[in-house]
Amino acid sequence: MTLPGAGALEGVGILDATLREGEQAPGVYFEPYVKAAIAGLLDEIGVEVIEAGHPFVDDEIAEAVNCLARRGFRARIAAHARARREDVEAALASGAGFLGIFLCVSPERLRERGLTPATALDQVTAAITLAKERRPGLIVRFTPEDAVRSPVADVAAVAAAAVAAGADIISIADTTGCMIPGGPRSLYDWLSRFRDELQRRNARPRLAVHCHNDRGLALANALDGLRAGASLVDVSVLGLGERAGIVDLAALLAVLVQDFSGNGRWRLEKVAELYRLVSRFSGVPIPVHFPVMGRNAFRHCAGVHSQAALRDPRHYQSLDPAPFGLSPEFSLDHMSGCSALLHALESIAVGDLDPELFTAVLRRVKAIGKKGRTVGRDELGWIVAWEKAQAQGRPVLLTQSA
């Protein structure tokens, strides 16, 4: 896959939507002071835009957006709005420096709402004109919702009108997560055709992508979008959002930094703290096997893997955990072999064990693993003490050092 080169990547930014899209995950709501803490970490990490909420929906959300907008973050604070005067007014009142206006322009949805392509176009341009007249320095993004299931030419017509009215960014939304890289519904192909259509209409906005994860392809589609010329990607912590959510922030960061020369652009060492915070206050656990931030993401288990990865983690890791402040780990369970056990014993300062004792300890570790859990370092010390005492035929004092 070809993405923009290192130079072009400098123009690639991240819009984090944890506080807006993330709150659309069932049962997730962040108190305003939690929003402030999350936004603070996102700003430290270096995302370009923090989408903070839809002020028209609720006074408390409006207040939170307003507080974040006044914090002096480097990141722009974004407010969400339908293409309606009342929504735009509420977003302007929030003081956000970035306004995201959305309207679905698919023929079915327009018919359902009694709109035509022409009236939809009027609605979008009126909303953007109002915003730009009131606040000329405001960055305005127009999102044709469910764009990829709408005819390219129809979307381009509305998008070009939005650009003419002052929109700076057009965000292409795969609202239902239906796109498949390399397949008949490819975001790369769709966006390439869309860009051509816009250029025919003399519109050259910045392009963004908003990819849902219904097929588990959100990140792959977002990368396809970058390849087709988008330069802003919507993400959220843990991928939180409607249904299966959107692109996960940490996974995108890992790819951009380690595979596309984005090193030094983002403070990755703050990401783990952000994930703990969002997981705690969203009530959504971080899945253990989640890429990058999952407990097992850099944890080796099987004997063959551990043996090779202990010599050089790159034998079984293509991502480097160090920039995230993490390091490879070697778990002890029924799959463990001698190398992992030796490593674990060294880590708890247990010197050479005689072969019989070593075998007894390994046998017990494997037996515990078959019960469906791993053996922690403290437990390993107790096992060594126990087996040593058993071998010597003396009582075991579990408080004694191994």
- The single residue of 54, 212, 305, 343 carrying the catalytic annotation is 305
What tokens were used for 318? 């293509």
CB of 104 vs Zn ion, minimal distance in Å? 12
Give the residue with the Cβ less far from Zn ion, 21 or 197. Answer: 21
Which 8-state DSSP code applies to residue 80? Answer: E
The smaller minimum CB distance to Zn ion, of residues 146 and 154, is found at 146
Q: Which of 339, 341, 325, 327 is nearest to 374 (CA)?
A: 341
Question: What binding mask, one character per residue, do residues 89-128 give for Zn ion by CB under 5 A, x or -?
Answer: ----------------------------------------
User: Which string of DSSP letters, residue by residue, matches 353-382?
Assistant: PPHHHHHHHHHHHHHHHTTT-PPPHHHHHH
Question: Which 293-312 positions form the footprint of Zn ion (CB under 5 A)?
Answer: none
Phi and psi torsions of 3, nearest 5°: -110, 170
Report the site for Zn ion in 17-46 (rule: CB under 5 A): 21
Please state the closest distance from residue 211 (CB atom) to Zn ion, in A: 9
- CB atoms inside a 10 Å sphere around CB 85: 13
Q: How far apart are the first and last CA of the chain?
A: 52
Restricting to residues 177-206, name those near Zn ion by CB under 5 A.
none
> Are the CB atoms for 369 and 375 separated by under 8 Å?
yes
What DSSP state is assigned to residue 239? Answer: G
| Shortest CB 204 distance to Zn ion, Å | 25
Minimum CB separation from Zn ion for residue 360, in Å?
Answer: 55
Please, which residue, 21 or 87, has the CB nearer to Zn ion? 21
Reply yes or no on whether 305 is catalytic: yes
Of the listed pieces 16-24, 120-128, 157-165, 308-316, which binds Zn ion according to CB under 5 A? 16-24
- In the bound state with Zn ion, the residue whose beta carbon lies nearer, of 21 and 387, is 21
Query: Nearest approach, Cβ of 72 to Zn ion (angstroms)?
Result: 28
∠ CA 85-240-265, rounded to 5°: 90
- CA max distance for the chain: 89
66 vs 175 by CB, closer to Zn ion = 175
Residue nearest to Zn ion (CB): 21
Query: How many residues belong to the chain?
Result: 402
Give how many residues touch Zn ion by CB under 5 A.
1
The Cα–Cα gap between 233 and 226 comes to 8
Is-contact 238 271, C-beta < 8 A? no
Scanning 14-22, 29-37, 373-381, 387-395 for contacts with Zn ion by CB under 5 A, the matching segment is 14-22
Q: Which residues in this chain contact Zn ion in the complex, by CB under 5 A?
A: 21
**Among all residues, which ones are annotated catalytic?**
305
